[in-house]
Amino acid sequence: MAEDRATLSEIATAAGVSVPTVSKVLNGRPDVAPATRRRIQDLLDRRSYTARRAPAVPGAAGLIDLVFRDLGSPWAMQILDGVEDLAYRAGVGVVVSAVHGRSRSRPDRRWIEQLSKRRCDGVLLVLSDLSPSQQGQLEELGIPVVIIDPAGQPGAGIPSVGATNWSGGVAAAEHLLDLGHHRIAVIGGPPTVPCSRARVDGYRAAMNAANRKIPAGYVRHGDFTSPSGYREMNALLDLAQPPTAVFACADEMALGAYEALYERGARVPDDISIVGFDDLDSARWAAPPLTTVRQPLAEMAGMATRMLLSLVAGEGLDSHRIELATPLIVRHSTRRLA
């Protein structure tokens, strides 16, 4: 009688090898010593361990993993739509999951085991990163990774797709400057996140190019959520000389700023002009519709999926880092200063 089915890590421990070595045996890889292979295979047989079936076409993807840091974010659905549309047309299945654990910036230790167990062919990471150990394990398993809008600097050799965040920050600030605003504040995301730093740096560059001094207290930091935009907008309104315009580095923070202004009896754009970043569906339906920098999330997701499928097929990439343009979408939340 077969023993109870074990996890991949339990089989690796029993065999005295690593999880990637067990996965090599499951995948029929030749680079495992014969004695080690027999020991692992014996354990797999006794534990009734069944691997996910291989793709019908050799070299083609059958299943990819899409891993989010935050599945509840409003832009997650735009990215999911971009991945699912291309994956569907390619006949590829998609497994969607969220990062768990204290850091919520990278998958936990069980993640590699789960990938190997279902024989995932490739991974798309959204605003997440990998530890050097995880990157090494995926390389051993032969599972390629592409990062969408990296939260940190991707490890050496990891392809990524992002947006021109710095240029978007420049465009937002220049738009407000062109409307005659001098007292322009910014609400950035976490200062440790590169895309947030780039947007704030773009704002600073535009202000410096226009010889506009940034007053003390005009550079604020939230966490890309509406409550943080609400909080930081209130802090700006409490200054002795509040701004006449605000660049919020995420639409969600811009909508939080709307709420703070409404509670204070201030009107957008009559009293304060607001520019966001992302161009979520909610930006178009806000009152008034939000002027924002469009981050092409679905296009970024589609591009990353194409790159991943190329890697699974053993093809090379023309570039390991792609940035898509971030155009300014002018609506009704900004106006010329009288």
pLDDT digits 0-9 by tens, 10-61: 777 788 876 557 766 765 656 678 888 888 888 888 876 654 444 434 445 5
Instruction: For residues 298-313, give the mean pLDDT.
Output: 93
223-242 burial code (b ≥16 CB/10 A, e <16): bbbbebbbbbbbebbeeeeb
pLDDT digits 0-9 by tens, 138-173: 777 778 899 998 766 666 678 999 999 999 999 999
* C-beta of residue 304 within 8 angstroms of C-beta of residue 158: no
Check residues 202 and 11 and name the one with the higher pLDDT: 202
What pLDDT is recorded for position 286?
Answer: 96
Angle at alpha carbon of residue 70, lines to 67 and 74, rounded to 5°: 115
Among the residue ranges 48-62, 227-241, 254-268, 287-301, the one predicted with the least confidence is 48-62
* C-beta of residue 199 within 8 angstroms of C-beta of residue 168: yes
State CA 30 to chain mean position distance: 35
pLDDT digits 0-9 by tens, 190-200: 998 889 999 99
What pLDDT is recorded for position 111?
Answer: 74
What pLDDT is recorded for position 209?
Answer: 98
Instruction: For residues 311-328, give the mean pLDDT.
Output: 90
Instruction: For residues 290-300, give the mean pLDDT.
Output: 96
pLDDT exceeds 70 at position 101: no
pLDDT exceeds 70 at position 285: yes
* C-beta of residue 188 within 8 angstroms of C-beta of residue 249: yes
Residue 309: which pLDDT band, with cuts at 50, 70 and 90? very high
What pLDDT is recorded for position 109?
Answer: 65
Contacts of 324 (CB under 8 A, 6+ apart): 161, 162, 163, 164, 296, 299, 300, 303
Separation CA 87–CA 91 (nearest Å): 6
Instruction: For residues 102-118, give the mean pLDDT.
Output: 65
What are the start-end ranges of the E strands in 250-295?
273-278, 291-294
What value does the mean pLDDT of the chain take?
Answer: 85
pLDDT digits 0-9 by tens, 325-338: 999 999 999 999 97
What pLDDT is recorded for position 56?
Answer: 38
Long-range contacts of 312-315 (CB under 8 A, 24+ apart): 312/59, 312/60, 312/61, 312/64, 312/121, 312/122, 312/144, 313/59, 313/60, 313/61, 314/59
Q: What does pTM read for this prediction?
A: 0.78
